[in-house]
Structure 1
Amino acid sequence: MSTIHFKETMNSTPEQFVAALTDFGPGRSQLFGNSTDEYLEVHSRGSGAADVTEGSRGIWERLHYDWSDPNRVVMATTDSNVWGGHSGHTYTFTPHSDGTTDVDVVIVREGKNLKGRVLGVVVGTVGRRVLRHAFEKTVEAVEARNRGVGTAERS
């Protein structure tokens, strides 16, 4: 099992980041590179939770999203072709009086089969840098979205 932790300070509020994180519409991959429209399926959605399948490049997972706490989003893997056990993502937000927000993300990857176990080792070692870069790109994309950059592309 691999556990990866990143922290970033962003110029968006927790509400803005959660709004982006829970926008399951077309073009999601512009914000989250590992979630392509091809795999995206919203099974159910409520005011503080959703059941969504997403993925890319042959890897998919079904996630239970819980954003009932305004400063925390938990995405628990409920099914996947490679991930099992305690896999998922947790985003925790700490807003500051200057308008910035610290966002902490913890990603847990527990392989449920041989492919998953091998990917878990890769993610926990050399894949860390790739995931870090993807996280930084997500933060930048959310900030750009909140500044109104690229809104015509999302229409």
Structure 2
Amino acid sequence: MSTIHFKETTDSTPEQFVAALTDFGPGRSQLFGNSTDQYLEVHARGRSEADVTEGSRGIWERLHYDWSNPDRVVMTTTDSNVWGGHSGHTYTFARRPDGKTDMDVVVVREGKNLRGRVLGVVVGTFGKPVLKHALEKTVKAVEARNTGTGTAERS
């Protein structure tokens, strides 16, 4: 099992970032590169939870999203072609006095078959910089979405 931990700061509010995380409409891949429209299927959606399948490049997972806590989104893997066990993602948000938001992101990858176990080792060993870059791109895209611009400048 691989657990990867990130910290990031964004100009977005927790509400704006939660809104992006829970927007399962077309074009989701513009915010989240590992979630293409081809794999996206919303099975159920409530006021503070959803059951969604998403993925890309031959890897998919069905996730239970829970955003009942306004400062935290927990995405638990309920089915996947490679991930199982304790797999999922947790985003925790903390408001700063300067108006920015600190994000704490934890990604857990536990392979459920040989392919998943191999991918889990690769992600745990070499994947952190790749996932960190993907998170940075997501943060920029969410900020751009919130300001109405096509791109976001970060300081």
Deviation at 1:125, TM superposition (A): 1.1
**Structure 2 Cα separation of the partners of residues 149 and 45 of structure 1:** 29
- CA drift of 1:149 comes to 1.4
Q: Superposed, which structure 2 residues align to 1:96-107 within 5 Å? A: 96-107=96-107
Gaps of 5+ in 1: 151-155
Structure 1 partner of 2:9: 9
The aligned counterpart of 1:153 is none
Separation in 2, partners of 1:97, 1:42: 36
Is the counterpart of residue 60 in structure 1 residue 60 in structure 2?
yes
**Corresponding position of 1:123:** 123
TM-score (norm 1): 0.96
1:114 lines up with 2:114 in the alignment: yes
Residue 91 of structure 1: aligned partner = 91
Deviates more, 1:105-114 or 1:121-130: 121-130
Q: Which ranges of 4 or more aligned residues in structure 1 deviate by more than 3 Å?
A: none
How many Å separate the matches in 2 of 1:128 and 1:99? 28
Q: Percent identity?
A: 83
Structure 1 stretch displaced more, 141-150 or 60-69: 141-150
Q: Distance in 2 between matches of 1:33 and 1:109?
A: 17
Deviation at 1:141, TM superposition (A): 0.5
Distance 2:80 2:142 in 1: 26
What TM-score comes out, normalization by structure 2 length? Answer: 0.96
> How far apart are the structure 2 equivalents of 1:149 and 1:50?
28
Q: Secondary structure at the match of 1:29?
A: helix
Question: Secondary structure at 1:122's aligned position in 2?
Answer: helix
* Aligned residues: CA RMSD: 1.0
Partner of 2:28: 28
In structure 1, distance between residues paired with 2:70 and 2:96: 14
User: How many residues are treated as equivalent by the alignment?
Assistant: 151
CA distance in 2, matches of 1:95, 1:47: 23
Most deviating of 96-105 and 64-73 = 96-105
What are the ranges of 5 or more consecutive residues in structure 2 without an aligned counterpart?
151-155
